[in-house]
């Protein structure tokens, strides 16, 4: 599995298409596609470790793209802070399992694992 992280609109999907060969992807859901774009949206919809385990068992070579949501202004709403925390925790979980991890900034992907 490959994890690609970066800020919003930094070129993660273009990087995945050009560099990693992604041709089709699911947007914000864990489904039958081998690439998930907007993993942070999947977390908002309830994705958790058991759901990830099931998805990764079906897609061991998956590419997962996630916006960095933990930087910047801290939201006042408890639910928004909890969501950001969960996205961060799940990305740490994915990064440990990943064969490769990339951070994309201004369209340039840098391998960090």
How would DSSP label each residue in 17-31?
HHHH-----EESS-S
pLDDT interval class at 31 (50, 70, 90): very high
What's residue 15's pLDDT? 98
Whether residue 51 lies inside any domain: the answer is: yes
Whether residue 67 lies inside any domain: the answer is: no
Distance separating alpha carbons of residues 69 and 86, to the nearest angstrom:
10
What's residue 74's pLDDT? 87
Q: Report the percent of the chain where pLDDT is more than 90.
A: 95
Which strand ranges, in their side-by-side order, compose the sheet holding 2-6? 26-27, 35-37, 63-67, 2-6, 100-105, 108-111
Whether residue 70 lies inside any domain: the answer is: no
Domain that holds residue 94: 2-59+82-111
What's residue 73's pLDDT? 84
Give the count of beta carbons closer than 10 Å to the beta carbon of residue 36.
24
Give how many domains the chain has, as a whole number: 1
pLDDT interval class at 65 (50, 70, 90): very high
Q: Is pLDDT at 104 greater than 90 in this prediction? A: yes
Sequence-ordered alpha helix ranges (H) in 37-104: 39-44, 49-58, 78-97
What's residue 72's pLDDT? 80
Q: Is pLDDT at 70 greater than 90 in this prediction? A: no
DSSP 12: H
What's residue 27's pLDDT? 97
DSSP 106: T
């Amino acid at each position: 599995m490959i994890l690609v992280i970066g800020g919003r609109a930094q070129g993660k999907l273009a990087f995945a298409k050009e560099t990693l060969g992604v041709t089709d992807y699911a947007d914000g859901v864990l489904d039958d596609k081998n690439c998930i774009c907007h993993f942070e949206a999947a977390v908002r919809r309830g994705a958790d470790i058991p759901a990830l385990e099931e998805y990764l068992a079906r897609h061991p070579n998956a590419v997962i793209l996630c916006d960095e949501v933990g930087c910047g202004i801290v939201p006042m709403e408890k639910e928004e802070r909890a969501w950001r925390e969960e996205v961060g925790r799940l990305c740490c979980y994915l990064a440990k399992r990943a064969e490769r991890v990339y951070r994309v900034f201004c369209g340039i992907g840098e391998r960090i694992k």
